[in-house]
Amino acid sequence: MNKIVLSGIKPTGIPTLGNYLGALKNFVKLQKEMEDYDFYIFIADLHAITVFQDPKELKQNIKNLAAIYLACGLTEEKLTLFVQSEVNEHAALGYIMQSISYLGELERMTQFKDKMQKQVQGVTSALFTYPALMAADILLYDAKYVPVGEDQKQHLELTRDLAIRFNNRYGETFTVPEGLISEKGARIMDLQDPSKKMDKSSENGRGCIFLLEPLSSIKKKIKSAVTDSEAIVRYDQENKPGIANLMTIYSIISGLSYSEIESKYHGKGYGDFKKDLADIVADEIGVIQNRFQEIINSKKLEELFDQGREKAKAYASRKLQKVYKKVGLGR
């Protein structure tokens, strides 16, 4: 069996605390735990352009994300870092995946439906076929595990369906991947509206923390996060979604369980809790920001991505040739 863990992030804007806790921090943790696995981590720039991106900003966002990956603590050993568009095979296999996916199953994707609702005009066809490209990203490398946040679960299920469908039609070709969705942090919510996930495109920037924003602004956002009138630090997802979300963030970063946090703040109000949370989040992000500054203009970053591209390309091109042969394409 191929021992590959794979995941990607779109370079649209600056990654958020949601991306960090739901994905990035998890990659780092898994890399430590799964010693005999190779990690393929990429920048999903082809996915980014399903919604218009200013070309100059996109370039900068790609570079920033590259540095953020390393700044978050991924180690170079057993790591293949690359940019999706530099490996043409993604788009090619994406097309094959479109050819075996049905309109009905793509229409059911909640992320697409949500975006359709928000943006009535100018929804691109690529936004609709996006999950087929995501399936290609994963299947191209026979990834066994795919660590993602909760919002990608449905896309992963589709990926599994497509892998199984292809294997049934054309013979065993793809590894059927499994999602790795962490128990805590897979869905970090907006600080101002805890019924919505934290998202960089949300209209209200006050509810979203960006990894490269000034620490003072991060602290301010946490201190003004929406809570409730009970004034007791208690984990109750249903009735106290604001506090539950803050406790989740606290728990992941500090390593304390919910009940340990409850005891720690017993008899204290939200003010103390939020102040401490603001400090621990700012400390953690501060370390990332310092490393980011060291890395962003280093040659090392370029070298790592060059090596990653070559390694990914070698694997992907072999795989795509196999696929073409099975499908009967070419002469």
Using alpha carbons, list the distances in angstroms from residue 174 to 47, 135, 326, 327.
22, 11, 12, 13
Q: By C-beta, is 131 or 265 nearer to ligand TYM?
A: 131
Pairing of strands 38-43, 79-83: parallel
First to last CA, the chain: 31
115 is a catalytic site residue: yes
160 near ligand TYM, judged by CB under 6 A: no
* Selected range binding ligand TYM among 16-24, 256-264, 268-276, 281-289, rule: CB under 6 A: 16-24
- Three-class DSSP category at 43: strand
Q: Which of 10, 25, 115, 319 is catalytic?
A: 115
223 is a catalytic site residue: no
Whole-number Å distance between alpha carbons of 233 and 243? 7
Residue 159 C-beta: closest distance to ligand TYM, Å: 8
Candidates 46, 55, 42; CA nearest to 131 is 46
Structure tokens at 261: 């946090």
188 near ligand TYM, judged by CB under 6 A: yes
- Three-class DSSP category at 40: strand
Whole-number Å distance between alpha carbons of 166 and 96? 10
313 is a catalytic site residue: no
* Selected range binding ligand TYM among 114-122, 182-190, 256-264, 317-325, rule: CB under 6 A: 182-190
Whole-number Å distance between alpha carbons of 263 and 182? 24
Q: Which of 200, 311, 313, 326 is catalytic?
A: 200
Site string for ligand TYM, 104-143 (x = CB under 6 A): ------------------------------x--xx-----
Q: By C-beta, is 4 or 265 nearer to ligand TYM?
A: 4
Whole-number Å distance between alpha carbons of 174 and 163? 6
Chain residues 25-84 in contact with ligand TYM, contact rule CB under 6 A: 44, 47
186 near ligand TYM, judged by CB under 6 A: yes
The binding site for ligand TYM (CB under 6 A) comprises 6-10, 18-19, 21-23, 44, 47, 134, 137-138, 146, 148-149, 151-152, 186-188, 197-198
